[in-house]
């Protein structure tokens, strides 16, 4: 799997998202810091950045081809001491299978032949209240992580992201972007195109976005995109997969 990511912070600075890609271990991770911490004077992105940094360190203990995402997340969580909290999603490729551990509303989709064939479920305690890892008594732990296994094929495109992506783009919109690309496109190019489109949608006040739809289903009135940090990581399954 060839991987690359693109990040657009809503404030033009560090933002609250963090991600990593590790080509050697065929593993990627995304974390989205919970913005509410900023009201307490805490950098809401620090926990997410430290969690992803510790995830990369935890990968060193995993031998090639045997990465266990939940084990990596659990070790990273145990070593993350920053104040704050974060969603998290770690995904690895083993042969013809994707394995993932997901906490909260970050996640991924699998596209095949320009169609979305899989979208990971979100975890939330209530509307707009996702599960989140952290050091406070009210935070969740990796024990609650969804463990996901999805079969993939040569040519599949994996699109992972924070909720800044999924709140602003429907799967068919991503299909439309994939349809603009003839043959192989570098994952950097696709990640950039998808992130830019999500960012544009987030500023559209008249858009019936996924976030607007979720509000409606929860009994609230809302129209427009959701301005947020946007992280997109694209993985392309290559011919060398066995």
Domain residues of the chain, as ranges?
Answer: 2-236
Q: What is the pLDDT of residue 63?
A: 76
Cα separation, 88 vs 82, whole angstroms: 15
- Burial, 195: exposed, middle or buried (Cβ in 10 Å; 0-12, 13-18, 19+)? buried
Q: What is the pLDDT of residue 40?
A: 86
Cα separation, 132 vs 75, whole angstroms: 16
Q: Output the tens digit of pLDDT for each of the chain's 242 residues.
A: 999 999 999 987 889 999 999 999 999 999 999 888 888 888 989 999 999 999 999 999 887 668 999 999 999 999 999 999 999 999 999 999 999 999 999 999 999 998 999 999 999 999 999 999 999 888 999 999 999 999 999 999 999 999 999 999 999 999 999 988 865 678 999 999 999 999 999 999 999 999 999 999 999 999 999 999 999 999 999 865 44
Q: What is the pLDDT of residue 159?
A: 98
Cα separation, 229 vs 4, whole angstroms: 17
Please give the CATH architecture assigned to the domain spanning 2-236. 4-Layer Sandwich (3.60)
pTM: 0.94
Q: What is the pLDDT of residue 240?
A: 52
DSSP state of 78: H
Long-range Cβ contacts of 99-102 (<8 Å, 24+ apart): 99/67, 99/68, 99/69, 99/147, 99/148, 99/149, 100/69, 100/146, 100/147, 100/148, 100/149, 100/150, 101/69, 101/70, 101/72, 101/73, 101/142, 101/145, 101/146, 101/147, 101/148, 102/145, 102/146, 102/148
Q: What is the pLDDT of residue 64?
A: 63
């Amino acid at each position: 799997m060839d991987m690359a990511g693109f990040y657009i912070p809503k404030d033009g600075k560090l933002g609250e998202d963090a991600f990593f890609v590790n080509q050697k271990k065929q593993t990627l991770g995304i974390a989205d810091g919970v913005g509410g911490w900023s009201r307490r004077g805490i950098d809401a992105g620090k926990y997410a950045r430290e969690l992803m940094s510790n995830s990369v360190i935890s990968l060193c203990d995993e031998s090639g081809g045997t990465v266990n995402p939940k084990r990596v997340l659990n070790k990273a969580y145990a070593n993350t001491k920053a104040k704050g909290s974060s969603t998290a999603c770690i995904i690895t490729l083993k042969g013809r299978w994707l394995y993932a551990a997901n906490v909260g509303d970050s996640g991924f989709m699998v596209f095949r032949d320009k169609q979305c064939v899989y979208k990971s479920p979100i975890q939330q305690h209530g509307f707009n209240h996702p599960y989140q890892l952290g050091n406070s008594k009210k935070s969740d732990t990796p024990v609650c992580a969804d463990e996901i296994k999805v079969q993939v094929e040569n040519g599949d495109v994996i699109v992972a992201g924070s909720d800044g992506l999924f709140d602003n783009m429907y799967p068919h919109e991503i299909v439309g972007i994939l349809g603009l690309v003839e043959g192989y496109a570098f994952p950097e190019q696709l990640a950039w195109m998808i992130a830019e489109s999500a960012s544009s949608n987030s500023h559209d006040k008249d858009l019936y976005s996924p976030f607007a739809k979720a509000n409606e289903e929860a009994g609230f009135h809302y129209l427009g995109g959701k301005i947020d940090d946007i992280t997109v990581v694209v993985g392309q399954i290559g011919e060398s997969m066995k």
